[in-house]
Structure 1
Amino acid sequence: MSTEKHRSVVAELDKRAGRTYADEAGITLRDTPVPLFELLVLSMLLSARISAEIAVGTARELFDAGLRNPKAVLDADRSTIIAALGRGHYARYDESTATRLNEGSQLLIDTYNGDLRNLASEADGDTHKAHRLLQEFKGIGPVGADIFLREVQDVWPWVAPFYDSKSIDSAKDLGLPENPLQLADLAPGSNATFAASLIRASLDNELVNLGLTRGDSST
């Protein structure tokens, strides 16, 4: 596939699916404590075996309930957390998720003074170390760490370009390059948005079928 065709596919994908999950969850992502915590929560919710739509909706319910920072989570009655999870139709995981939210919030306060920028400082520009440190939070495994780093890379530039195996597999299916640096060169302004659009394409066959065919994979 030629570079011109690559850019055509990327433009179509951006038009149809160019939105981060953080944006969909109502998170205005900045390098400040509250939105970074919100992204951590969203990454945990998206890690479960449940639809992205439900996970995003549940994140919005938690944030609307005022659970936007670790202290608010720890100060909240467990019933408040359970109720928000229920409104988001996350009931299957409500008890375990409430526990993980509390344990993660306590860990964040104890280890990083409630501020994930301190985790970034400890990682010291090492994306692999950041990936490992994120997994110390209950409910954030390798998949959750991938989600967090995919979404945060525009505000933590040292992470970019971050395209995990799932987004790279999706790029391959679309006939796009499988190299993160080449994908970054094709990104329409935002690596985080492009990576999210690749994930959305992997979950929606229609995005592939509507002209986003693999074709000749040569570059």
Structure 2
Amino acid sequence: MSGGVSASARRITDALLEEYGRTYAAEAGIRLRDTPQPLYQLLVLSHLLSARIRASVAVAAARALFADGMRTPRRMADATWQQRVDALGEGGYRRYDERTSTQLGDGARLVLDAWKGDLRRLRAEADGDGEALRAGLRRVQGIGPAGADIFVREVQAVWPETGFWIGAKGQRGAERLGLPTSPGRLSEVARDRDRAAFAAALVRAALDREVVERVQEAARAGK
């Protein structure tokens, strides 16, 4: 890490990544690569995570959809509305299951129509412009600003032109942990680390105060 990063920040970062350094994509069983199927699966997961529902439930619902074969936009679009509802319910995603089933079907058809089922075409359209990328993502039904931010935060592992992206929740997690909150300073903290995993861990700290307490305790023990 840079010499400008404090020893305290290094200890907190080490403890955070040791305990919580995994992306939500990995948690959902997505082997993220720059290929159409995992990129689409990440889009589905980003949609589910953006709702006002526990992240663990969103991850479980994504796993259930994929286990039922809805791993590509074609398979998602071809599934019946009830099949999507049933899979969402199996994952515990019941509060928004009917609306989300409709959005997933409509969104899959948009991905097929706009980008031939391949989100790398959206990447090429954006041509390194982060706002253009997020605007393209927001064209997909059910993907608002929060969902677009989640996608960009997770995809930075394979689309490095996004730069280091943590979003508002990541910044909130950094603040709770006592880390720098500016993207530039956090980028220094994350130097030579898996930045997508670091960003996801910061989000976990924003969502759960127990995460903050465990990380701070581990950091103190590592002095």
Taking the aligned partners of 1:61 and 1:108, their CA distance within structure 2 comes to: 21
Q: Would the aligned equivalents of 1:154 and 1:160 in 2 still touch at CA under 8 Å?
A: no
- 1:1-219 alignment runs, 5 A limit: 3-187=6-190, 189-210=193-214, 212=216
Taking the aligned partners of 1:121 and 1:134, their CA distance within structure 2 comes to: 13
Which moves more between the two structures, 164-173 or 28-37? Answer: 164-173
Q: What is the deviation of 1:101?
A: 0.7
How many equivalent pairs are there?
A: 213
Change (3 A) 1:202 1:133: same
Structure 2 unmatched ranges of 5 or more:
218-223
The Cα RMSD (Å) is 1.5
Taking the aligned partners of 1:53 and 1:207, their CA distance within structure 2 comes to: 14
Q: What TM-score, normalized by structure 2, do the two folds share?
A: 0.91
Q: What is the deviation of 1:91?
A: 1.8
Which moves more between the two structures, 76-85 or 45-54? Answer: 76-85
Q: What is the deviation of 1:2?
A: 5.9
1:113-148 CA-to-partner distances (Å, cap 9, x unmatched) read 111001111111011111111111111111101100
Structure 1 unmatched ranges of 5 or more:
214-219
Q: What is the deviation of 1:92?
A: 1.8
Taking the aligned partners of 1:147 and 1:193, their CA distance within structure 2 comes to: 12
Q: What TM-score, normalized by structure 1, do the two folds share?
A: 0.93
Fraction of identical pairs, as percent: 48
Q: After the TM superposition, which segments of 4 or more aligned residues of structure 1 sit over 3 Å from their partners?
A: none
